[in-house]
Amino acid sequence: MASHRKSRPAGTRVAGIRTPALATAALTSVALLSQSADATPSADGAPSLEEVEKKVDALYRQAESATEKYNAAKERTGKQRKRVDTLLDDVARRTQKLNEAREELGSFAAAQYRTGASAPDTATFLLADSPQDYFDQTQLMSRLTTRQKGAVDDYVTEQSATMKKRREAAQGLQTLTETQSDLHTAKATVQRKLSDARAVLSRLTAEEKARLAAIEKEKRGKAAEEAAELAKRQAAEKAAQRQPDTSASSSSAPSSGAYSTKAQKTLAFARAQIGKPYVWGATGPDSYDCSGLTQAAWKAAGVSLPRTTYDQVNAGTTVSLAAAQPGDLVFFYDDVTHVGIYIGDGMMIHAPKPGAYVREESLYYDGESAIHSVVRPA
């Protein structure tokens, strides 16, 4: 996708986003673990801190992937439920009209019976296996009055339309059932992965958590340094762009200004959410998951984004990391399962993981190789 993406040597990247708050200490980067006995299994065969970190990190990444699948299934389920409800309402209306048409034909049959005039005609129609069976009896049709023929035509038309809508509704219900199954599967996967991660973390000793917390602090310092380097590169690129043709840059100013205005509203909203908890599947206002936060923030600026990271990554123009501007969406990992809002100087606002809170953080919190792409949504 974007030109800034780096190749990823096989086997060197630990998939996952750091989980802050309660679980932060146990979820630090393997690359930052010191060359110590912690990197190798203990004499009693217990897993090393490195192995624990890998396992927990993988579980949280799998939970986040399942969360985006859950979000997608939930959105599909909502749309399909609305469609099915519409179809069922239409079927009910058409069935009522069909019953009214049948009653009208029945009144004709009753009148004919009372007068003794052409009694079999309408009755034969009502008792036929299908309207077509009746119409095949052309000699009977010829005896009907114009009004009776009109009533028969209305009945046949309504019956055909009603049967079609019933088939559509049945198909819609089947699709809805399948999507609800996907929804329940994704939900169960998220819950299972989070439960497994908590179980692993619960087995860490206080000393182990303290050692990993120190490493996490060191990792954050390195990420901040990388963010500062990015800020320098971006400043240099902006300076270079201002040098050549000023007329060309002035012609693009209105569009840049319009984006800047929307981005400011987006960032103002995002900053107001800092400190609110990450909750998977949440879209606010009291809690968010990563794509729920970015969707809500850009909505505050009047821009409608899709629900999931999979769709948001295609909802705008891809730009290079060096050209990133405040308000741009930054996506992470090859499976595009995390997103944050760029605020400048190599920093972003995002909803990290369960157990964490919306916060500002370096784009490099999980290393440069974790960055997938940058998208400008408006």
**Which residues are the active-site residues?**
290, 338, 350
288 in the Ramachandran plot: left (φ > 0), alpha (ψ -120 to 50) or beta?
beta
DSSP 127-154: HSSSHHHHHT-HHHHTTS-HHHHHHHHH
On whether the CB atoms of residues 29 and 222 are closer than 8 A, the answer is no
Could you give the CA distance from residue 185 to residue 65 in angstroms, rounded to a whole number? Answer: 13
Alpha-carbon dihedral sign for residues 160, 166, 170, 175: positive
The conformation of residue 52, written as its DSSP 8-state character, comes to H
Could you give the CA distance from residue 220 to residue 18 in angstroms, rounded to a whole number? Answer: 10
* Tokens 């050692």 belong to residue: 211
The CB-based long-range contact list for 24-27 (8 Å cut-off, 24+ gap) reads: 24/213, 24/216, 24/356, 25/204, 25/209, 25/210, 25/212, 25/213, 25/216, 26/52, 26/53, 26/56, 26/200, 26/201, 26/204, 26/208, 26/209, 26/212, 27/53, 27/56, 27/57, 27/60, 27/216
CA distances from 245 to 140, 196, 235, 248 (A): 86, 58, 18, 6
On whether the CB atoms of residues 363 and 307 are closer than 8 A, the answer is no
Nearest partner of 168 among 268, 273, 86, judged by Cα = 86
Could you give the CA distance from residue 207 to residue 215 in angstroms, rounded to a whole number? Answer: 13
Nearest 5°: CA angle at 227, between 27 and 211?
30
Pseudo-torsion of CA 199, 204, 206, 209, nearest 10°?
-100
